[in-house]
A and B are shown apart, each in its own frame.
Chain A
Amino acid sequence: MIEPELIEKINRVLAEEFEVDPAIIKPDAMLMDTLDLDSLDLVDMVVLIEHNFGFTVKAKDFAEIKTFMDFYQFINSRMDGSK
């Protein structure tokens, strides 16, 4: 179970960092395409997660993430793991 507040926070920080309209962020949309990310942006994704969610990941950890839902679950599981 992912708390709605966490999803809301993830959507907000992604929209702010990558300068997109929050309305285009939907659970089943493709993360990389929707946010127009390239390999450099994944570096900033690592920074964004550390700043906003308090844990450090590696860019290669994003390999299995396709949709925003995958991303929510990734963040949620890592946050649960750190509790």
Chain B
Amino acid sequence: MEDFIHRNMKRVVITGMGIYSCIGQDLDTVRDSLMSGRSGIIADPLREEMGFRSFLTGSLPEPNLSNMLDRRKRLCMSQEAGYAYLATSWAMEQAKIDSDFLAKNEVGILYGNDSSALAVIEGVDILREKKNTTLIGSGSVFQSMNSSVTMNLSVIFKLKGINLTIAGACASGSHAIGMGFMMIQSGLQDCIVCGGAQEVNPYAVGSFDGLSAFSMKNTSPKEASRPFDADRDGLVPSGGAATLILESYDSAVKRGAPIFAEIKSYGFSSNGDHISVPNVDGPKRSILMAINNSDVALDQITYVNAHATSTPVGDYNEAMAISEVFGDYKPYVGSTKSMTGHEMWMAGASEVIYSVLMMQNSFIAPTINFEKPDEASSKLNINNQCVRLPFDTCLSNSFGFGGTNSTLIIKKL
């Protein structure tokens, strides 16, 4: 029976990618940033003024959508939905998906998002001041819900398949790809827009800042995010949006779409432990599930894109989990968050794009600011300079609050 199921599983490939991030708003710029180790982090004066402990954030321009979308559509979109709209438009263009294809096929959307704080707070501020709910305006409710991205993009692109937001904390984007992978693999869908979006504004991260989880290296923004380094002191919040078009191999070949990589496997687990403090066991089980469910041997994985956010405990435990799984075999391990900061709900999707760009262009991005290993990271093979190396298989980890873990294995085609 198991053989029968596996024989009938469809292969799932990536046919388009689009990204709006603090290290670039097109794939070529993002590739160059990854190669050169360019940081997208700044110190934000507004956060200092607002009483934040950490003033650090990923920096990206606000998109101007006025020439692309009519008033009603723009009015209903949250900040992160705007980022996701652009990323998705570019991904569809690369995948050669047009309105005719969308009209004739049940294309779905599974997107990671776990907050829309700016819209909620702006709406509540009006209510408190005016004491009149109508004066909040017609767009606020559609901006305020966690499903802001999927509800808006499904309307704009007239999508007719699965339509769902995945809220899995900092693993949301990765789980969205994993869920899309399973739906296409099983034959329920042929093509799904997958990704993750993260708003970038002080309101989105104020309470997070209060947990002392963010780096305090306010005077040296480019050096603040230092995953696996012994002197790391917390993460740097960031965001944007990343979209991948997932499609069955058969569908992609049939319509002559470009095929960039194949999703080989999805692993997941829950720590069943502390709400904010990660452990070793949960991530380890997620990684093992992804490996055991794939036809990829351990030593075929050349690069591990770690979750590593630059927090003391998180990075330590992930390093232990990776070293315990891989044993004597030492794949390159890196964290692109050293350059991007922690893109949170977006990160699991953007980091798959970063990894695919590395495989396409034969390099492994540096983990910048990694200068001094600690006891756990000394067990890993972490490069702090760009390594030029052709490779075709990588593994990407994403973990989140509540102990949610997701692991994807990707192979270049």
Asked if B70 is at the interface of the complex by the 8 Å CB criterion, the answer is yes
Q: Render B294-331 as a binary contact track against A, CB cut-off 8 A, 1 for contact.
A: 00000000000000000000000000000000000000
Shortest Cβ distance from A55 into chain B, in angstroms?
12
Chain B residues, CB < 8 A from A80: none
- Quick one: closest B residue to A20, CB to CB? B71
- Could you say which interface size class chain B belongs to? 10 to 19
Q: How far is the CA of A50 from the CA of B134 in the complex (A)?
A: 11
Tell me, yes or no, whether A32 is within 8 Å of chain B by CB: no
Q: B70–A59 contact, CB under 8 A?
A: no
Quick check: A43 and B137 within 8 Å, CB to CB?
A: yes
**Proximity string of chain B (117-145) to chain A, C-beta cutoff 8 Å, 1 when within and 0 when not:** 00000000000001010110111000000
**Chain A contacts of B72 at CB under 8 A?**
40-41
Give chain B residues whose Cβ lies under 8 Å from the Cβ of A40. Answer: 72, 138
In-complex Cβ contact of B134 among A18, A19, A41, A58 (8 A) = A58
A43 and B138: CB pair below 8 A? yes
Identify which of residues 32-46 in chain A touch chain B, using a CB-to-CB cut-off of 8 Å. Answer: 40-41, 43-44, 46
Q: Is the CB of B71 within 8 A of A46?
A: no
Does A77 touch B at the CB level, under 8 Å?
no
User: Are A47 and B135 in touch, CB under 8 angstroms?
Assistant: yes
Give the contacting residue for B70; candidates A19, A43, A44, A56; CB below 8 A: A19
- Most-contacted residue by chain B among A47, A50, A58, A59 (CB, 10 A): A47
A18 B71 Cβ-Cβ under 8 A: yes
Closest residue of A by beta carbon distance from B126: A47
- The answer to whether B71 touches A59, judged by C-beta atoms less than 8 angstroms apart, is no
Interface-central residue, B72, B75, B138, by most chain A CB under 10 Å: B138
Per the bound structure, the CA–CA distance linking A22 and B138 in Å amounts to 23
Encode contact with A along B128-171: 1 for CB under 8 Å, 0 otherwise: 00101011011100000000000000000000000000000000
Check if A59 sits within 8 Å of B138, measured CB to CB.
Answer: no
B138 touches A50 (CB 8 A): no
Q: Which residue on chain A has the smallest CB distance to residue B137?
A: A47
Provide the bound-state CA to CA distance between A43 and B130, in Å. Answer: 15
A residues 1-46 in Cβ contact with B at 8 Å: 18-19, 40-41, 43-44, 46
Q: How near does chain A come to B74, taking the closest CB pair, in angstroms?
A: 10
C-beta contact mask, B51-75 vs A, less than 8 Å → 1, else 0? Answer: 0000000000000000000111001
Please name all residues of chain B whose beta carbon is closer than 8 Å to the beta carbon of A19 when the two chains form the complex. Answer: 70-71
- In the assembled complex, the CB of A25 is this many whole angstroms from the nearest CB of chain B, namely 16
CB-based contact B71/A43 at 8 Å: no
Q: Which residue of B lies closest to A49 (CB)?
A: B135
Contacts of B132 in A (CB 8 A): 56
Bound Cα distance from A50 to B132, whole angstroms? 11
Contacts of B70 in A (CB 8 A): 19
Question: Nearest-CB distance from A45 to chain B (Å)?
Answer: 9
Shortest CB-to-CB span from A41 to chain B, Å, is 7
Judging by beta carbons under 8 Å apart, are B135 and A56 in contact? yes
Residue of B nearest to A48 (CB): B137
- Residues of A within 8 Å of B134, CB to CB, are 43, 46-47, 58-59
The residues of B that contact A41 with a CB separation of less than 8 Å are: 72, 138
- The chain B residue with its CB closest to the CB of A39 is B138
Counting from the closest, the 3 A-B pairs by CB-CB distance are A43-B138, A40-B138, A19-B71
**A contacts, CB < 8 Å to B:** 18-19, 40-41, 43-44, 46-47, 50, 56, 58-59
17 sample A-B contacts, Cβ–Cβ < 8 Å, listed by A number: A18-B71, A19-B70, A19-B71, A40-B72, A40-B138, A41-B72, A43-B134, A43-B138, A44-B137, A46-B134, A47-B134, A47-B135, A47-B137, A50-B130, A50-B135, A56-B135, A59-B134
